[in-house]
Amino acid sequence: MKYVYDLHKTMLDHHLILVYEGEFTQEITKSVLSMAERNMDAIGEDSSIKRKVFNVMVEALQNIVKHSENTENNGKGRQNAIFMLGKSDSEYLITSGNACKSADVSEIKVKLEKINSLDKDGLKQLYKETIKSGSLSDKGGAGLGFVDMARKSGKPLNFDFIEIDDSHSFFSLQTLISRV
């Protein structure tokens, strides 16, 4: 049972206030958002910061719901993923992780690196261009989520890919929202 204490200590050390791991559905997404909103309301968080955090959380959770891949290594071939919300004195940390196709990794990296290379005006222009092009992916996304997350945070998106098996990688994404 020491793992319970170890997990609790890890959450405290990393300032995690909400962690969900498992299958993600629209209903679970609503519950996670509701818990985060109650937490921010309880501490009296500024409404403009709450909006930014909430917006980035929605994008991260939608990314999981729409783009997670099934893998054999997660137990039952389900779309298991993880979502974490952390809070320090100076910022919120919104972190998500899910399996994706390894074949998609280079395309995702290129998109994220381009987004991270742009300033505020460049992100605004990319957002407008993406809306005008109107092209949807086979899973219904237009690619606006990452751009919107970067615009709301005003900081680069942190990301990583770890190989799971021959055809899947684990995609981790972290967005920071300043509280000051």
Mean pLDDT across the chain, nearest whole number?
90
pLDDT surpassing 70 at residue 2 = yes
Nearest Cα to Cα of residue 173 among 164, 153, 165, 39 = 153
pLDDT of residue 69: 85
Question: Which residue is listed with tokens 């209903």?
Answer: 27
Greater pLDDT, 140 or 31: 31
As assigned by CATH, the class of the 2-178 domain is alpha beta
pLDDT of residue 133: 80
> In this predicted model, what pLDDT tens digit does every residue of 48-90 receive, in sequence order?
999 999 999 999 999 998 888 876 654 555 568 999 999 999 9
What is the value of pTM for the model shown?
0.88
pLDDT surpassing 60 at residue 99 = yes
Greater pLDDT, 44 or 134: 44
Any idea where the domains of the chain sit in the sequence?
2-178
Q: Please, which pLDDT band fits residue 142 given cuts at 50, 70 and 90?
A: low
